[in-house]
Structure 1
Amino acid sequence: MSGRKDKVGRTELISASEQDARTLPDEQRAGLPSPRPATAPTAPTAPAPAPDAVGPQQRRFLRRVTTLAAIGGALFGYDTGVISGALPYMRQDLVLTSLDEGLITSTLLVGAAVGAVAGGRVADRVGRRRSMGWAGIVFTAGALAVALAPDVPFMVAARFVLGLAVGSASVAVPMYLAELAPAADRGRLVSLNSLMIVSGQLLAYVVNAALAPTGDWRLMLGLAAAPAVALVVGCAFVPETPRWLQANGFRREAIEVLRKSRSERETEREFHRQQRAERLSRRRRESAGWAEFRTPWLRRVLFIGIGIGFVQQATGTNAIIYFAPTILETTGLSTSVAVVSTIAVGVISVAATAVGLTLVDRHGRRTLMVVGQVGGAACLLALSFVIGRTGESAAMSFVTLGLMAAFLAFQQSTVAPVAWLLIAEIFPTRVKGLAGGATTMALWLSNFAISLVFLPVLEAIGGRATFLCFVALSVLCLLFTLKWVPETRGRTLEQVEEELRAAGTRTAA
């Protein structure tokens, strides 16, 4: 939140000697050596262990900033998960119909879609760090508003405001982590955001269960204000990403951040890669807008991103997260037992996402998505038959809970973290905010549509037919993944851009 790196204060950063140095190559002005010719002799040096390795100091820095940034993911998770336990008690106080419940749940997602588009543009203009800070302020206001809502219209409006923060954070946080992380660690560090999302959902389930005896849904919703304040304060103590700094002319500051997160040699390499990408961007256009997507390969990448966002939602992951207690109530469990039982869903989600953190940098992104989609479809198929036979059997109710947990285990260890990771990886820097916002908007609109119609459809056609529809969508998503989703593991963001440009050019030709 410091003004030190503002464009308006840029001239304050440049001393008279630096003004004279403008004629020097960018590498020398940034304090790095110019690239040496391949034939230049090298003087003998003492052997150094793993010159490209990230040292303990850099790892501490990365842990600190990524953990702090991922508070946004925890807020995202809490605000989307807490509604599942609050709805049964809100239903009594505000006299809700099933359509009201779907509207209150899904209005946040409409706000998230708007917030994703706006947040992407804000992140491009003012920086990823400030965008997260503003999201934290809106999180705080929205959490207090939903806790104090006197009626359904006020609640709907407050949930929309809260959704603006959720959408903005869902763009800015993965973007921030992807641009800050070294290529070898990018999958794990960006997927930390997914772990924080499900951790926030688990926290919501625990809070719901603890407050279930009192039925205090207002406190359930209002507690989100505390971590929101922590996000606002924390953003004052983390740096901006080197790519945003470099793209906006703050090369010296970009080098400072790179040196905190990379080895000296990798800092030099990263600087030169970013310089090449920035020069290419300047040759194409000074500022990015929707006209950029007239370029065939960029249009193709945007299509892939929107498809990935749809895939992440279409199989019903969030329908189960939002309405788990309601689904369990249909099998004969009481409201309080259903709310407490969803803690198991949260625990499985967190454990699965933690496993996913160990997989994303070891196995291909495409491979993980395929495995997760096949396993998830099998669980949904089994769930459709179990729900159709449960009646009022408590034993079968817990079989239903087990299948829901197994489905989420597949989704949260593979599809969900990989989808967020790919959205943060596949777009070039100059359109990352715009394209990331559009993709995340598609994700939230898919989430909105499914959440709005889930309960009415469940009432109209029953659990078996509803989950068979999700199975059919899962098959379509698998076909999309096999045909369109690129592999990005082990590539720098510049290499990802080059490969996607080449693939898109071949397709257009």
Structure 2
Amino acid sequence: MAAENERKVGTDEPHRGRRRKSAVLIYIFGVIGGINWGYDTGVISAALIFLREDFNLTSWAEGWVTTGLIIGAVIGAAFGGRLADRYGRWKVLLVTALFLLVAPPGMAWAPEEFTLFVFRFVAGLGAGLTAVILPVYLSEIAPARIRGKVTGLYALSIVTGQFLGFLVGMAFAPLESWRWMLGFSVVPSILFTIGLFFIWETPRWLVMKGRRDEAMRVLLHDRAPVEAEREHADICRTHEAEKASCGSPWKVLRQAWVRPILVIGISVAMFQQFMGINTIIYYAPTVLQNVGFEDEAAIAANLVIGVLNILAMWFALSYADRWGRKPLMLAGAAGTLLSLGILAATNLTQPAPDGFGVVGLVTLACIAAYVFLFQMSWGSMTWVVLGELFPLSVRGPAMALATTLLWVANGLVALSFPPLLEAVGVGRLFAGFSVICLAALLFTVRLLPETKGKSLEQIEATFRGTPGVRTAPGSRQVG
């Protein structure tokens, strides 16, 4: 088993290229779990059109079916951090894979809405665990020089899954077969399970459990010996400092130097959801139907959103380690504020639905702009920032808290959107989301720190106010 029996790797030159190739496989397989979450959130937008008819769903029932995934994710996220700290990142990911394998056949078989809710809940347990553990796993195993790209791959896998969901939804729309749409997510579940046997445990968790020799061998997989020794020493030094200065992780969370980190992490997580992205992912066809698009045209528009999702994530991966996290998030908050403001103004001043007329085309254009700007910034960088901010001793519980609140916000948005859309219309609803984007912009300007180019130990030392943790060669100190 790869996670339990880390391969013994020497430091000789002939094997370094092969080691680095195997590390690339870790990064690829390590993020496949995000495809499940993305697929299930993407495909439901098309499935709802036919579920609404088959099960005679009210607007509230529609919200509950959509939110079943999210309720499960809240519970999975709440327990994921503690489980990952106790049993290891890899073992909990294996349990996650079991949830993701069971849920798709159950959703496809569901004879009525309650059963569908239950199996979407099971899928949500897997999604919540994944959302807590994979960003932590990737941030802990990747070198500082490429950590933004590696952790950003998780966000890329989410939007790739959403695009696959849009494609499958469009393919089965002529057959009105929502069962095939929901059941098809078993394919990425199988890939994720296979991928787990190509990855190993993180060096930081191994140090935390006293397995320092194993941690060194893992570091040598994609680091030069000098770099690996330096990072190993920093991890051990930081761990010893944490053991000497504090007790349990929950006590650490209450310490004065940790509280600002928690506030920033939770704020980033909450803003990501309340800025409105999942109203587009879950309900884009519904929104477009409200401005006059026909069913199949509304579902086909999802493909535009899916392509923009992926392009935006590639943009973020290309520039996260060059420009930094904060500039991308500033640009994203400003851009989403503008695009949602135009969308709201158009629908409020010209409220008549007209399909491919002015209101319909402006709505589609603003949604497209919003999706690109959000995903290149908050959609991708939230997971990078959350994976980097929290100290080692509380990384699991803190990530669990932030991710749980993220999923709670996700659930509130998903559950309330259909009745709110019905009650106040597209214009007023998206005007409210634009105000939240303004608040996110002000938060980013005033409170969000830059973490580009710093090791996880450096980031922690900055919040502690304790010097002495060294920077890896080639990385830059960023305030």
Give the TM-score category using the shorter length. Answer: over 0.9
Corresponding position: 1:217 with 2:173: no
Mapped to 2, the partners of 1:226 and 1:201 lie a distance apart of 14
Q: How does 1:100-499 map to 2 (within 5 A)?
A: 100-285=61-246, 287-288=248-249, 290-388=250-348, 389=350, 390-396=352-358, 397-499=360-462
Tell me the amino acid that sits aligned with residue 103 of structure 1. Answer: W
- CA-CA distance at 1:291 after TM superposition: 2.2
Mapped to 2, the partners of 1:5 and 1:64 lie a distance apart of 17
- CA-CA distance at 1:140 after TM superposition: 1.2
- CA-CA distance at 1:386 after TM superposition: 2.6
8 A contact 2:3–2:201 mirrored in 1 = no
Tell me the amino acid that sits aligned with residue 383 of structure 2. Answer: W
Mapped to 2, the partners of 1:443 and 1:370 lie a distance apart of 20
Mapped to 2, the partners of 1:195 and 1:256 lie a distance apart of 29
Tell me the amino acid that sits aligned with residue 227 of structure 1. Answer: P
Q: Which has the larger radius of gyration?
A: 1
Tell me the amino acid that sits aligned with residue 380 of structure 2. Answer: P
- CA-CA distance at 1:501 after TM superposition: 2.0
Tell me the amino acid that sits aligned with residue 375 of structure 1. Answer: G
- CA-CA distance at 1:341 after TM superposition: 1.5
- Give the alignment's Cα RMSD to 1 decimal: 2.0
Q: Deviations over 1:472-498 (max 9, x none)?
A: 111112222222211100000000001
Q: Deviations over 1:75-119 (max 9, x none)?
A: 111111111110001111111111111111122112111111111
- CA-CA distance at 1:385 after TM superposition: 2.1
Q: Give 5+ residue unaligned stretches, structure 2.
A: 467-479
Tell me the amino acid that sits aligned with residue 88 of structure 2. Answer: G
**Percent pairwise identity:** 37
- CA-CA distance at 1:392 after TM superposition: 2.0
Mapped to 2, the partners of 1:464 and 1:308 lie a distance apart of 26
Q: What TM-score do you get using the length of structure 2 for normalisation?
A: 0.92
Mapped to 1, the partners of 2:301 and 2:381 lie a distance apart of 27
- CA-CA distance at 1:181 after TM superposition: 0.5
- CA-CA distance at 1:2 after TM superposition: 5.9
Q: Deviations over 1:27-50 (max 9, x none)?
A: xxx999xxxxxxxxxxxxxxxxxx
- CA-CA distance at 1:236 after TM superposition: 2.0
- CA-CA distance at 1:5 after TM superposition: 5.5
8 A contact 1:137–1:229 mirrored in 2 = no
- CA-CA distance at 1:55 after TM superposition: 6.0
2:72 aligned counterpart, secondary structure: helix
Mapped to 1, the partners of 2:398 and 2:282 lie a distance apart of 27
1:212 aligned counterpart, secondary structure: helix
8 A contact 2:105–2:183 mirrored in 1 = yes
8 A contact 1:310–1:446 mirrored in 2 = yes
The list of structure 1 runs, each at least 4 consecutive aligned residues, that deviate by more than 4 angstroms after superposition, is none
Tell me the amino acid that sits aligned with residue 173 of structure 1. Answer: L
Q: 231-240 vs 365-374, which deviates more?
A: 231-240
Q: Deviations over 1:261-309 (max 9, x none)?
A: 1111101111111110111122134642x22222011122111111010
Mapped to 2, the partners of 1:3 and 1:111 lie a distance apart of 26
Which residue is 1:76 aligned to? 37
8 A contact 1:205–1:343 mirrored in 2 = yes
8 A contact 2:76–2:126 mirrored in 1 = yes
Q: What TM-score do you get using the length of structure 1 for normalisation?
A: 0.87
- CA-CA distance at 1:333 after TM superposition: 1.3
8 A contact 1:58–1:262 mirrored in 2 = no
8 A contact 1:31–1:252 mirrored in 2 = no
Mapped to 1, the partners of 2:345 and 2:80 lie a distance apart of 42
1:361 aligned counterpart, secondary structure: helix
Mapped to 2, the partners of 1:251 and 1:432 lie a distance apart of 19
Which residue is 2:469 aligned to? none
